[in-house]
Homo-oligomer: A and B are copies of this chain.
Amino acid sequence: MQHIFNTDLTSALYTDMYQISMAHSHFNYSRQNEQVAFDYFFRKQPYSGGFTIFSGLGELLALLQEFKFSSRDIDWLYKHGFNDGFLEYLRDFSFKGTVHSMREGEIVFPQEPIVRVEGNIVEAQLAETVLLNYLNFQSLVATKAARIKLVARGAALSEFGLRRAQGIGGMFASRAALTGGFTSTSNVLAASIYDVPAVGTMAHAYIQSYDGELEAFRSFAKVNPEGCVLLVDTYDTLKSGVPNAITVAKEMEQEGHKLMGIRLDSGDLAYLAKQSREMLDAAGLNYVKIVASNQLDEHIIKSLFEQGAPIDVFGVGTNLATGKPDAALDGVYKLSMADGEPRLKLSENIKKTTLPGLKQVYRFTDEAGNFVADAVALIGDAIPDTIHHPYEPDKSMSLQGYTSQPLLELVMQDGKPTNAPVPVLEVAAYATERLSKLTEEYKRFENPHIYKVGVSKQLLDLRTELRNKYKKDL
């Protein structure tokens, strides 16, 4: 019997069945070499926020290079009714498409293309599901992480979510949390493969496995004199945990060591942090840090600081690793070109009508270095000096006097990445730098300012022309 851990995750079966059904049909009409282009974009900011951190590109590009059908996969498809000719074709399949993308860690906004995949109709479709699966989730979690960092006042942030993460998706949750600005993870495997710091000291069970808390603390501190954090809430935080931690910290001092911290994992964190801080300081242990965990998110952390809680490190689990309350980013992958012609998906909801053609996104920056607006324009047209609201074309904005930067860069040519992989911590640094160029009003949690993403006149005209053409044909 096969299990997730003995499954080849580079299998091109990691897709939706309809991608294979469609490929089968295209192959049958010898359309498999027809060139198409798809855009990845999303429609709605997660968490009712003002920005999203684009994450997941590194894993996606690495996967696309390996994305193939194994003999086992071909056998399975054969048993499920696909014919020999098509299966021979799939046996030789590999992704040879060309990908333009924004940099991983970029600050991105609804409606603008973040990734463009060009290739033949089969490879571009087969890549859809995995692209969405990798990018939607990691961008969701990276954004949550960045939101938490915004209110963390420089506190260290550790991702603790593996136990409540969505199965092995927890590997991506840890990676994405780091790209969004977290400083470490408790997930050792993720730390080892993504080369990021792992942290963790003790659980309640460690303390319960000893007859007394003090004995448990002492034993642990002796083996871990560096980086020792004692969990103080197993029996009673203020009556037992903190006093015992103070005793051990004093004993450590005798040995020339310093207790790194105590961890609060239940109860009223604001109150307990203040009381613990006082007790530690009164004992001359002002260097001992306070770590807090237990159902944290950006709103609770913000509130803890507003209450004056002296917390130095936060461990954030479930709400981060699952991207609660959203749980998903609504990113989609839509056809924009086929057979050399721009394509459009109509919808009764104008907001769901797509932007046709091959496009570039330009980001405009003011003299102070802050982001002002993004413009989506057709490749080949001049950089626009005016943008139009994508759904209310009467609304426009002049971009005169701002400097522009194209955001979509070539990242994969004919199935080969054009650059070395970017380490996770470099992605994080880029995200931090870019986020610093977004002014505060876009970053607040309540009714953030909506960042302007507009389209060029030519693109708007193309969309109108195609829409009228389709509607006439109906």
Residues of B close to A205: CB separation below 8 A? 22, 36, 38, 125, 334-335
**What chain B residues lie within 8 Å of A136 (beta carbons)?**
163-164
> Closest residue of chain B to A134, judged by CB?
B167
Nearest chain B CB to A107 CB, angstrom units: 21
Answer yes or no: A421 CB below 8 A from chain B CBs. Answer: yes
Q: Is A380 an interface residue (CB 8 A)?
A: no
Whether A19 and B189, one on each chain, are in contact in the complex, defined by CB atoms closer than 8 angstroms, is no
CA distance A36 to B206 in the complex (A): 11
Q: B22–A63 contact, CB under 8 A?
A: no
A212 to chain B, nearest CB (A): 7
Query: Would B167 and A172 count as touching, CB distance under 8 A?
Result: yes
Q: Chain A 17-46 against B: per-residue CB contact (8 Å), 1 yes, 0 no?
A: 111111011101101001010100000000
- The listed residue (B11, B36, B209, B330) touching A209 by CB distance below 8 A is B36
Contact with B along A311-354 (1 / 0, CB 8 A): 00000001000111101111101110011000111111100100
Query: Given A167-B134, A170-B133, are A343 and B192 also a contact pair (CB < 8 Å)?
Result: no
- A415 part of interface (Cβ distance < 8 Å): no
Are B172 and A166 neighbours in the complex by a CB distance under 8 Å?
yes
Complex CA–CA separation, A18 to B184 (angstroms): 13
Interface size for chain A: under 10, 10 to 19, 20 to 34, or 35 or more residues? 35 or more
A232 contacts the other chain (CB 8 A):
no
The one of B29, B31, B200, B335 in contact with A16, judged by C-beta atoms closer than 8 angstroms, is B200
Which B residues are in CB contact (< 8 Å) with A209? 26, 31, 34, 36, 121, 335, 338-339, 343
Is the beta-carbon distance between B167 and A173 smaller than 8 angstroms?
Answer: yes
A223 touches B34 (CB 8 A): no
Q: Given A200-B18, A206-B22, is A235 in contact with B470 using a C-beta cutoff of 8 Å?
A: yes
Q: Is the CB of B17 within 8 A of A191?
A: yes
CB nearest neighbor in B for A420: B1
Q: Are B5 and A10 in contact (CB-based, < 8 A)? A: yes
Pair B334/A132 contact, Cβ less than 8 Å: no
Q: Are B473 and A15 interface neighbours, CB within 8 A?
A: no
Given A9-B4, A339-B209, A348-B266, A22 and B166 touching (CB < 8 A)? no
Given contact pairs A21-B201, A38-B205, A201-B21, A137 touches B166 in the complex (Cβ within 8 A): yes
Residues of B within 8 A of A137 (CB): 164-167, 169
Chain B nearest CB, measured from A356 CB (Å) = 10
Pairwise interchain contact A327-B335, C-beta atoms closer than 8 A:
no
A63 to chain B: which residues have CB within 8 Å? Answer: 3-5
Query: Is B132 in contact with A168, judged by CB distance below 8 angstroms?
Result: no
Mask for A254-273, Cβ within 8 A of B = 1, else 0? 00000000000011000000
Cross-interface CB contact of A21 among B17, B172, B202, cutoff 8 Å: B202
Given the known inter-chain contacts A2-B193, A327-B325, please indicate yes or no for A343 contacting B17, CB distance below 8 A: no
Q: Does A59 contact B (CB under 8 A)?
A: yes
Contact A133 B3 (CB under 8 A): no
Contacts of A165 in B (CB 8 A): 133, 137, 166, 169, 328
User: Contact between B121 and A163 (Cβ–Cβ < 8 Å)?
Assistant: no
User: What string of 1s and 0s marks CB contacts (under 8 Å) between A169-208 and chain B?
Assistant: 1111100000000000011110111100011111111101
Q: Shortest Cβ distance from A76 into chain B, in angstroms?
A: 5
Q: Measured between alpha carbons, how far is A167 from B170 in the docked complex, in Å? A: 8
Residues of B within 8 A of A10 (CB): 5
Some 20 contacts from A to B, beta carbons below 8 A apart, are: A5-B10, A16-B187, A21-B200, A24-B223, A25-B223, A36-B205, A81-B226, A121-B209, A128-B163, A133-B164, A133-B170, A134-B167, A137-B164, A137-B165, A167-B169, A167-B171, A205-B335, A266-B348, A322-B327, A325-B325
Further contacts, 17 of them, CB under 8 A, given A18-B202, A125-B203: A5-B66, A13-B192, A14-B188, A15-B188, A16-B162, A16-B187, A16-B188, A17-B199, A25-B206, A29-B219, A132-B163, A167-B173, A205-B334, A212-B473, A235-B346, A267-B348, A325-B327
> What are the 8 A-B residue pairs with the smallest beta carbon separation, nearest first?
A169-B169, A17-B200, A18-B200, A167-B172, A166-B169, A166-B166, A132-B163, A322-B327
